[in-house]
Amino acid sequence: FLGKDADALEAWHLALRGIGSDYERHTVLLALLKVSTLDTPGSLAMLGSLAGMKASYEQTNVILALAPKLAPNAEVLEQVQLLARKLPTHERGQVEQALDGLREKVQAAEKA
């Protein structure tokens, strides 16, 4: 569980940034996702950790696993779309498709 405490989230973010290999960071992020509940700060922290990855394969895999767990928040959606724009065409299409549910939740929340 990433926790909602800002200090805890910053500690996770710093620890993840300290992992030099994209493959290892990808492995840790996927393991964290299995045991995490993500609110808006947790979602943004995870996306921030992904931003430093250069390998599109690993980044795409984490985003695809992350998409259904992201908090339905406009800022979160904007950040993940920014990451998707940097991916190769095929991977970007996969991520955009995976974000359809999040877009619907954000739109519903904005109408409420």
**pTM of the complete model:** 0.83
* pLDDT-above-90 percentage for the chain: 46
pLDDT at 107: 93
Residue 6 pLDDT class (50, 70, 90 cuts): low
- Residue 37 φ then ψ, to 5°: -115, 125
Residues 10-23 have a mean pLDDT of 79
Tokens of 38: 């993500």
Return the amino acid letter for 104: E
Range in 14-18, 21-25, 43-47 with the lowest mean pLDDT:
14-18
